Structure 1
Amino acid sequence: MSEGGGEGAAEHSGLRAALGGLTTRGRSFLAAGVAAVACSYLLGQADLLRVGLLLAALPLVCVLVLHRSRYRVAGSRTLSPARVPATAESRVRLRMENVSRLPTDVLMLQDRVPYVLGPRPRFVLDRVEPGGRREVSYRVRADLRGRYPLGPLQLRLSDPFGMCELTRSFSTVDTLTVVPRVEPLPPVRLAGEAAGHGDGRRRSLALAGEDDLIPRGYRHGDDLRRVHWRSTARHGELMVRREEQPQKARCTVLLDTRAVAHPGAGPDSAFEWAVAGAASAAVHLLERGFSVRLLTDTGASVPGPDGAGGFPGGAESADAVGLLLDTLAAVDHSEAEGLSAAYDAVRAGDEGVLIAFFGDLDEEQAAVAGRIRQRCGAAVAFVLDGDAWTRGSGGTRVPSGQVPVAERVGLLRRAGWTALPVTPGDALADLWRAAADRAGAEPGRPVDASAPETVGGGRW
């Protein structure tokens, strides 16, 4: 990423703008000079007049000299890396090059950054010879995911006496993308995979080299290299291979982004845990060869490169992971009140495995979630206990009609979900393993909601 070869320090800004760049020292000298000239006229003191003219002329001369300075300076910015997980650091390198035939004076370089990334970095550059360059760097770190603009780069010029300062700005702005933290998950089998929606059926994973060889009769225009001689000999006519690409295993990750379902804010809030959990689950499934669709409570599927709102797994997962994490870096709360739109979106297609991250649910929305489960082969729900997060942050919760988390989990389990409660401090890897253990306990039918388990600090 570069800040282009803008000639910000060469722009002719006008004398009025230059006068506006007078510092406190310059304004004081100018005011003192004008006062001395006025007093010399009233008192008839010629010496005072000369002093006043000198005091008033010095800042004006500095303004004129700085205004006439025509440095040609090119600047660039490089982010390494440009995409980082939350709480990780990125190094920003700034490079300034004097492309004019004249040396520069002392320059002050400042880069504009959002306040969440820290204070604005400032650097003082010594005299830069013609054709010379200077490089400086600084680090930025964000605890909260998002897209943060860096720039524009500003160059401050000043005269040797400190009477005037002018700021020149470059135009290009780069973006630092802070994505959710991804937690490695254990490779376990989820319920329903043996029914053909996961890796229980080997053909559904589209492994490399597992093309199904189904011979058919030769048609005009078929490539002779596809002739299957063994079938030709058996059938007595020319047969060719009909290569069918194995079906991809499909998975939908449903993220509940409703503002009413997630209390609190900040990097340690329930909503950020849900976003990080959705990212970890999606990346894990992509790496296992699943085609993953990211769905929110609004019913909108995140656009994917396959044109159907999904991200392909397997060999293409590297690019898909980057696109998916970039999308989750900017996801925010929605104004939706319920999950009906998500139900309509799930009902429209074959979802395969469904992994959901729910916030607070009332009885009505728990019933909608139950209907969502009926459209999928396997369904695992992580239900966040918003009350526990609120108590952990020292806040108070306003009653909003939600039922306790144990009842929410029970309602989902009776509807066929493999549902687990989530409290602050729980690790998704432990919950992921517990979901597989619980789903495999009684395959094919819901597990008794009254059976207690303890994983990661939660009981269900």
Structure 2
Amino acid sequence: MSSRLIFLLAALVAAWGFALNSGRPLAFNLAYLISGILALSYFWSWTSTRAIHINRHTRARRSQVGQHFEESFEVRNHGRLPTLGIEVRDFAHVPLHGASRVVSHLQGRAHHRWQVRTYCQQRGYYRLGPMRLLSGDPLGLFSIDQTLSQTSDLIVYPATVTLSAFQPPAADLAGGEALNRRAQYITTNVSGIREYAPGDSFNRIHWLSTARTGRLMTREFELDPSADIWLFLDLHSRTALSLPWRLTPPEAGVFGLSGRRRDDALQLAPSTLEYAVTAAASIARYFLLRNRAVGLIWHGSQRYLLQIDRGERQMRKMLEALAVVSAEGSITFDQLVVTEGVRLNRNDMILAITADPDPAWVRALREIRRRGVHSVAVVIDGSTFGGQEPYAELTHELALSNIPAYQVQRGDDIGAVLGRANNGDQRPEVASL
């Protein structure tokens, strides 16, 4: 309750008391005036709030770290009375998403639009809304709010960087021949023709055979000779390290073009988990764009396994899973390698992504290689994120095990580090900037 309203209520009580006791017309006129002001002000506030509607338009419900998320808003006054002040409060959970506004004046049958463009700096699922409208009368006596409870979701994918080259070892297949196993997806190896069956995709139909036989004929495919890529992501809580970090305030101007210089360079949170997730998403994108089959495994609060597949749908599944992952696992990375490595064969390849300085997981990879399962390591150097344990022993173990490895430190350009191709004719070393 505002101080003005309290003063007028007190004046109203005093005016009516004085008018009833004295019976003077002037006192009654004053009491009627104050009563009319209060009634008119409340009626103005109530009708103006009821006549206000707001529309929220989200261009896309998916965004990515390093990209911008855009929304547009429209406040429309359907009533005849003007509103002298409308406050729009947005309770979206998106960090630094400044959608709240104050519309100072809106005529009857008029509207006001604005746009919000927010730079996404943190991956995750976020709620958009609810919203709250507050309006009042010209004298500022009453403030009536209206809550818009509609909500929607926004998912912010982890960042992906472009890799110029990433050359893991090929699968150990004799002569590079195709595997004699049927593939559920289209590959470059056609094994034969059969009659069409319900559920077959139309892009698998062999039209020449169909025209010759008069029946729909479908092509069958075998697995490619290249290795399937399995991403092993370490989510053990002990190895997750981070430094204090503050989100960068949004740039001035509707589109961030005025007031401050634009800075679109990707800045990851100083956390081993964020660097590992970005590396995993970038490597998955690299192989999927080249029509390679990629799968994903981690042990966090629960075990997660995304089966081997290809294409954009697989990339979307990976990004959605990586968007909400957190380092809450209790299983060490060497236990994960041993547990999940048992199910792999010589046609698979492990890409281990971890910040664990314990060389036990390297020895686990070395044991799995005896069955023909090759591996590549991406090591997030925790010593640059505030960790105290050295990585010299791990680096030495990787070199002795002849396992190609990439070391990523805080502040490194992940694309440049992972883009260094390992030369198969030389002894692999840990690559860093």
- TM class by shorter chain equals 0.7 to 0.9
Q: Is the 8 A contact 1:409 1:420 kept in 2?
A: no
The answer on 1:244 being equivalent to 2:220 is yes
After TM superposition, the structure 1 = structure 2 runs for residues 184-263 of structure 1, keeping only pairs within 5 Å, are 184-191=162-169, 193-196=170-173, 201=176, 203=178, 210-213=189-192, 226=209, 243-248=219-224, 249-263=227-241
Counterpart for residue 323 of structure 2: 329
The answer on 1:355 being equivalent to 2:332 is no
Q: Is the 8 A contact 1:346 1:375 kept in 2?
A: no
Match of 1:441 among 414, 421, 425: 425
Distance 1:84 1:196, change over 3 A: farther
After TM superposition, the structure 1 = structure 2 runs for residues 128-167 of structure 1, keeping only pairs within 5 Å, are 129-130=108-109, 133-167=111-145
Match of 1:77 among 56, 59, 80: 56
* 1:361 CA drift (Å): 3.2
Which digits, 9 at most, give the CA deviation of each residue in 1:424-458, with x for residues without a partner? 23333333344522xx135xxxx47xx6x6631xx
Cα distance in 2, alignment partners of residues 196 and 54 from structure 1: 96
Q: Is the 8 A contact 2:408 2:432 kept in 1?
A: no
- Three-state SS of the structure 2 residue aligned to 1:424 is coil
Matched letter for residue 418 of structure 2: W
Cα distance in 1, alignment partners of residues 332 and 153 from structure 2: 34
Q: Is the 8 A contact 1:121 1:138 kept in 2?
A: no
Match of 2:303 among 291, 300, 304: 300
Name the structure where helix makes up a greater proportion of residues: 1
Structure 2, gaps ≥5 residues long: 196-205, 246-268
Using CA pairs under 8 Å that are at least 6 residues apart, name the structure with larger relative contact order, 1 or 2: 2
Deviates more, 1:338-347 or 1:285-294: 338-347
Match of 2:283 among 281, 284, 296: 281
Counterpart for residue 15 of structure 1: none
Counterpart for residue 63 of structure 1: 42
Give % identity. Answer: 20
The answer on 1:112 being equivalent to 2:98 is no
Counterpart for residue 346 of structure 1: 341
Distance 1:184 1:124, change over 3 A: same
Matched letter for residue 230 of structure 2: T
* 1:369 CA drift (Å): 5.2
Cα distance in 2, alignment partners of residues 224 and 43 from structure 1: 103
Matched letter for residue 172 of structure 2: A
* 1:187 CA drift (Å): 3.6
Counterpart for residue 199 of structure 2: none
Cα distance in 2, alignment partners of residues 181 and 138 from structure 1: 21
Cα distance in 1, alignment partners of residues 125 and 352 from structure 2: 25
Cα distance in 2, alignment partners of residues 376 and 252 from structure 1: 14
- Three-state SS of the structure 2 residue aligned to 1:252 is strand
Which digits, 9 at most, give the CA deviation of each residue in 1:17-64, with x for residues without a partner? xxxxx43432343245446667x5999796678657755663455235
The answer on 1:310 being equivalent to 2:285 is no
Q: Is the 8 A contact 1:77 1:94 kept in 2?
A: yes
Tell me the TM-score normalised to structure 2 length.
0.73
Counterpart for residue 13 of structure 1: none
Distance 1:227 1:410, change over 3 A: same
Cα distance in 2, alignment partners of residues 101 and 311 from structure 1: 58
Matched letter for residue 334 of structure 1: E
Cα distance in 2, alignment partners of residues 102 and 261 from structure 1: 63
Cα distance in 2, alignment partners of residues 288 and 176 from structure 1: 29
- Three-state SS of the structure 2 residue aligned to 1:264 is coil
Cα distance in 2, alignment partners of residues 285 and 53 from structure 1: 80
* 1:406 CA drift (Å): 1.7
Counterpart for residue 374 of structure 2: 378
Q: Is the 8 A contact 2:48 2:82 kept in 1?
A: no
- Three-state SS of the structure 1 residue aligned to 2:325 is coil
Matched letter for residue 244 of structure 1: E
The answer on 1:91 being equivalent to 2:70 is yes
* 1:188 CA drift (Å): 4.2
Q: Is the 8 A contact 1:406 1:421 kept in 2?
A: no
- Three-state SS of the structure 2 residue aligned to 1:147 is strand
Cα distance in 1, alignment partners of residues 299 and 64 from structure 2: 24
Q: Is the 8 A contact 1:381 1:417 kept in 2?
A: yes
Cα distance in 1, alignment partners of residues 9 and 33 from structure 2: 9
The answer on 1:426 being equivalent to 2:405 is no
- Three-state SS of the structure 1 residue aligned to 2:273 is helix
Cα distance in 1, alignment partners of residues 191 and 46 from structure 2: 76
Deviates more, 1:43-52 or 1:67-76: 43-52
Q: Is the 8 A contact 2:236 2:331 kept in 1?
A: yes
Which digits, 9 at most, give the CA deviation of each residue in 1:290-345, with x for residues without a partner? 2211211347235xxxxxx23632xxx23332332222121112141413245323
Distance 1:97 1:69, change over 3 A: closer
Distance 1:168 1:207, change over 3 A: same
Matched letter for residue 291 of structure 1: A
Q: Is the 8 A contact 1:261 1:360 kept in 2?
A: yes
